[in-house]
A and B are shown apart, each in its own frame.
Chain A
Amino acid sequence: MTTRARTTGLPGWIFVPATLGAVFVLLPLVAIIARVDWANFVPLITSESSRAALWLSLRTSTVSTVLCVLLGVPMAVVLARTEFRGQGVLRSLVLLPLVLPPVVGGLALLYTFGRRGLLGETFSAWGIEIAFSAAAVVMAQTFVSMPFLVVSLEGALRTAGERYEVVAATLGAGPTTVFRRVTLPLVLPGLLSGAVLAFARALGEFGATVTFAGSLQGTTQTLPSLIYQQRVTDPDAAVALALVLVVVAVVVIGFARQGRGSTR
């Protein structure tokens, strides 16, 4: 057994609201597990619409996670390593999707890339229709999950500091070499946990997706959209699929914690 430092000065009553909070979060999970129709569980989650939605969700979430990494890593590096006027404002704006209601995000995307949107008309002229396509699903997911990666990575970059980068430069390494061989490897755990969080957020994305991409089986109907649609018509299927997402979420949190654990 390991010895543990004793907690001092914690008031006894604090455990009451703490326990209440934990119950409030965990009880719904128990409720959903209790509601699962175990006898038909496998057929329910392997029906054609379920498989199509699951497959689409996995594909789009993976692509949007890759996009988050490609665009979010440079963003986090610029935010963490440079100083310029208005940087604070810019950081807040970039992180906006974190607090913005997803429906609003979807609407904003629609008025940007939709048929009559800011850029949509140009795209239409080229024969590209983004709204209500699988590409729209990816864009909606990327929009809402990017801030998770940026926040997580910027924190890791600030914690790592610039000291190793300075040493690398005085050893003759140019900025690109320093970025590739020192900066990135040092924040890899933070990057991984950020990417895992972004993937989880993309997988659960609903509001922005239905607004911007709709819910067409096989093209834009992701797992959360399917669950929402079936909660009335086929509650047993909705609950079974919901459990799949709960399991994925638990696995993801396990990964993210592990990633964070190895930063120190």
Chain B
Amino acid sequence: MSLEVSARVVERGVDLSFSVGTGETVAILGPNGAGKSTVLSVLAGLLRPDEGRVVLDGRPLTEVGGGRAAVDVPPHRRGIALLAQDPLLFPHLSALDNVAFGPRSGGASRSESREQASGWLERVAVGHLGDRRPSRLSGGQAQRVAVARALAARPDLLLLDEPMAALDVDVRPALRHTLREVLAERTTVVVTHDVLDALLLADRVVVVEDGTVVEDGASADVLARPRSAFAARLAGLNLLAGRWDDGAVRLGAGAVVQGRVVGPAPAPGDSVLAVFRPTAVSIYREPPHGSPRNVLDTTVTHVEPRGDLIRIRSDLISADVTAQAAAELALVPGDRVVLSVKATEVSVYLH
């Protein structure tokens, strides 16, 4: 099943398009309010765009143009199942009957749909919980049942809206593992904040910012070589945008960053990106002398713990230093500092 989407929703400032190949899992990443959930609502038929098209496996589901809806298939005939953060299991039905709901609505007999349901519960490793009411399930168990319920409806397209956001951190890995198994070969769109979801669940990543697609590529590529500030932040990388000038990246403020060019060589004047890890950045109170390093003058904005390191965030980039180094520098927000990074640590590529 392949999916083609284009949608403009004026009220929410969304105007984007992307596609999903047959059996492919695409992660939609983006900051809050970027329009990710709006896209899912349009796909599921819960929100009619001002203009747009949704075509699933050659079947038009939404076709709106010029304020007129030529096609608008209702949600229950779309073959698109939606799994939200909140499992939303029907509280009056047992786990098994929740999962059997889809097959039953699809016309299967009671016993047949229960049989299918118990198979799906097995697949998501909660086969023993079929008799339980949703109120007697833990958050992780309930979300597994919700996954089984969505799959049991045999959707042509599965939508996941931050499926693990509401769960305890320690139950996420196991559920992510289960999802990875059941999503293989299944056409899926997953909205997420979590870089691990993007890496482990998705084949491809679509980054949405301010209602438009700013990046679209294989998960590993996007995270290794982000082209948007959001993807860079997700990947834990510093990203500086500038123009290629005399063998270096010239930033807006006149600063210049040297680095290793990755991929096709840029021509003078091309818009390029410089990307490097926060751990590669050193911090000084005074400009260092005589080292072949890139040097940036900036102001500290945040000082926060990050694992066993301290992350110093500045106007431009972040630096991760050891707690000991941070203590010696005694930095507080507002301090002027000099950040430096070796040219060999910086990847430069075309925007």
Contacts and interface: CB of A to CB of B under 8 A. Distances in A.
A186 B102 contact: no
A216 B79 CA distance: 61
Interface stretch (B2-10, B84-92, B180-188): B84-92
A86 B77 CA distance: 31
Contact of A174 (B81, B86, B88, B105): B105
Contacts of A170: 44, 75-76, 78, 80-82, 153, 155
B34 interface: no
A13 B92 CA distance: 45
A186 B92 contact: yes
Contact of B153 (A171, A185, A188): A171
B305 interface: no
Give the size category of A's interface with B.
10 to 19
A166 B106 contact: no
A21 B264 CA distance: 85
Interface in B41-58: 44, 46
Interface string A151-189: 000000000000110111111111101100110011010
Interface of B: 44, 46, 74-82, 84, 86, 88, 90-92, 101-102, 105-106, 149-150, 153, 155
A164 B88 contact: yes
A181 B91 contact: no
Interface string A128-172: 000000000000000000000000000000000001101111111
26 contacts: A167-B82, A168-B90, A168-B101, A168-B105, A169-B74, A169-B75, A170-B76, A170-B78, A170-B80, A170-B81, A170-B155, A171-B105, A172-B77, A172-B102, A172-B106, A173-B76, A173-B105, A174-B76, A175-B76, A178-B76, A181-B101, A182-B90, A185-B90, A186-B90, A186-B91, A186-B92
A171 B46 contact: no
Nearest to B101: A171
A250 B129 CA distance: 41
Interface of A: 163-164, 166-175, 177-178, 181-182, 185-186, 188
Contacts of B75: 166, 169-170
Given A173-B76, A173-B101, A164 B81 contact: no
A172 B153 contact: yes
B95 to A, nearest CB: 15
A186 B149 CA distance: 18
Contacts of B82: 166-167, 170
Contacts of B102: 171-173
B81 A185 contact: no
Nearest to B88: A167
Contact of A172 (B76, B90, B91, B92): B76
Nearest to A172: B105
B110 to A, nearest CB: 12
A245 to B, nearest CB: 35
Contacts of B80: 170
Given A166-B46, A167-B82, A168-B105, 8 more contacts: A164-B88, A166-B75, A168-B90, A172-B76, A172-B79, A174-B105, A175-B76, A188-B92
